[in-house]
Amino acid sequence: MDTSVSANTKTLKVALLGAGNVGSQVARILLTDASALAARTGARLELVGIAVRNVDAPREVEIPRELFTTDASALIRKADIVIELMGGLEPARTLILEAIEHGATVVTGNKALLAVDGPTLYEKADAAGVQLSYEAAVAGAIPILRPITDSLAGDKITRVMGIVNGTTNFILDAMDSTGAEFADALAEATRLGYAEADPTADVEGHDAAAKGAILASLAFHTRFALEDVHCEGITGVSAGDIAAAKEAGYVIKLLAIAEKISVPTGGQNNDDGGTFTTGVSVRVHPTLIPREHPLGAVRGAYNAVFVEAESAGELMFYGRGAGGSPTASAVMGDVVSAARRLVLGGPGRSDSTIEVLPVLGIDAVKTRYYIGMDAADQPGVLSKISALFAENGVSIETMRQTVHRERDASENGSAASAELRIVTHRASEAALAATVEAINGLDIINSVTSVLRVEGV
Ligand code: HSE
């Protein structure tokens, strides 16, 4: 006997905007798991309609045709809970605002919209006392936003490092395991359906930056937007970089890193014992991490988020970062949580913005660096290079040299070049940039082949 639904069970009307990969899986769960959802929430979740552009488009899930409509605004006016899974900025933004104005709880997975215009949506939701939830916007199925906002609410998060883009992780992992160049690994990712026809948002790091802004906002109780994130993609990572990193015990990952840091108020190079400013740096860039680091083990298109908190220490959250069913799982978590609150009553809970910390640019960050360079193999080269590091206050941790001897037409019949790979201790961006510029000016240097940041050591 189904004891979950009685004559007194409240009904909550649910409107779905979008029936793509994720939307159709959300519809499937709402339609097939109705009694389990009622038992978990104390309310009957009635899917009252699905707004789509084309009612007749083919869909993976069988959904009764009468649920489809092209009139999203009319559907929103009927709903207690609106699930926005259309993606893109418009009409998603306007429809979410309509839902908030109507007093409906909103669940969305639209990280691009939240990164660009989140503050407007959060403020409107706060003012209307409605809940806006978006667990699916970061790292697909992985429960990460609720652990940050609820489970770790009594702790102080100091740093979040995430592999939050599956496409780039697939590409970098393929380069690492096969030795392929970026273009070939991207072609394989496209062939297998991981990369979009236009992969720009993924490979240039924009998608990871949008997710980084959301993670930083929740971890540090301050609202950060996309423009606050320093962003570098993976298009410049070469097979040579990957091979050199591998040889030195590292793997290259595209990381979104958000961390709370204190810097001398006069700037990173003005460490005169004066006052300090505490702020948050949010950055996305290819990063060398030790192969034994938990993030180093994240293969293929999987995502993972590594959180460091004062009392909890280190935590890692791992799982599928994309795909219809996995992302629908995160959406439904928000829907169930919203339904439970609606059953109990009370206003929506807004994200905490108690800190209002300043955004610190990449110049404020001190990290370790990996520098690859191609130099002449002759007496005095190492001393000239190490002198430049010393002059700029950058301390070398390890230096490796591989000599390549090639036969040529010169007098002694051969020419030698040295491939140098240097890992530094922590240094500021400015000190590192000055060092690299000076090295590039040496006549014994053929080229600086790569400059990458190193984390997780
Ligand atoms: N394009 C994203 C990725 C999935 O590759 O991880 C959606 O956020």
Q: What is the mean pLDDT of residues 76-80?
A: 97
- Asked if residue 454 has pLDDT above 60, the reply is yes
C-alpha span between 343 and 340 (Å, rounded): 5
Q: Are residues 236 and 152 in the same domain?
A: yes
Contact status, residue 338 vs residue 14, Cβ threshold 8 Å: no
Compute and round to an integer the Cα radius of gyration of the chain.
Answer: 26
For tokens 């609410």, what's the residue?
A: 153
Domain assignment present for 82? yes
Q: What is the mean pLDDT of residues 289-293?
A: 97
Write the pLDDT tens digit of every residue in 225-245: 999 999 999 999 999 899 989
The CA–CA distances, whole Å, from 106 to 80, 125, 145, 223, 431 equal 9, 9, 16, 19, 46
Site to substitute for ligand 1 among 108, 113, 202, 284, most atoms within 8 A of C-beta = 202
Q: Are residues 306 and 337 in the same domain?
A: no
Tokens of 134: 């978006």
Q: What is the mean pLDDT of residues 188-206?
A: 94
**How many angstroms does the Cα of residue 20 sit away from the middle of ligand 1?**
15
pLDDT of residue 153: 94
Range of the domain at 190: 145-321+356-362
Least-confidence region, from 91-105, 166-180, 336-350: 336-350
**How many angstroms does the Cα of residue 97 sit away from the middle of ligand 1?**
25
Residue 412 banded pLDDT, cuts 50, 70, 90: low
Q: What is the mean pLDDT of residues 277-297?
A: 96
CATH label of the domain that carries residue 167: 3.30.360.10
Domain assignment present for 438? yes
Residue 274 banded pLDDT, cuts 50, 70, 90: confident
Q: Are residues 175 and 316 in the same domain?
A: yes
Domain assignment present for 111? yes
Q: How many domains is the chain partitioned into structurally?
A: 3
Average pLDDT over the chain, rounded to an integer: 92
Q: What residues pair up with 318 in beta bridges, in sequence order?
A: 304
Domain assignment present for 378? yes
pLDDT of residue 208: 97
Tokens of 28: 């499937």
Residues with Cβ within 8 Å of residue 190, at least 6 apart in sequence: 197, 199
Question: Which residue puts its alpha carbon closest to atom 7 of ligand 1?
Answer: 322
pLDDT of residue 405: 72
Q: Are residues 258 and 310 in the same domain?
A: yes
Domain assignment present for 450? yes
- Give the predicted TM-score (pTM) of the model: 0.92
Domain assignment present for 167? yes
Q: Are residues 158 and 225 in the same domain?
A: yes
Least-confidence region, from 13-17, 177-181, 229-233, 396-400: 396-400
Domain assignment present for 351? no
Q: Are residues 172 and 27 in the same domain?
A: no
Q: Are residues 231 and 374 in the same domain?
A: no
Q: What is the mean pLDDT of residues 213-217?
A: 95
C-alpha span between 273 and 278 (Å, rounded): 15
pLDDT of residue 403: 85
Catalytic residue among 111, 156, 211, 366: 211
pLDDT of residue 257: 98
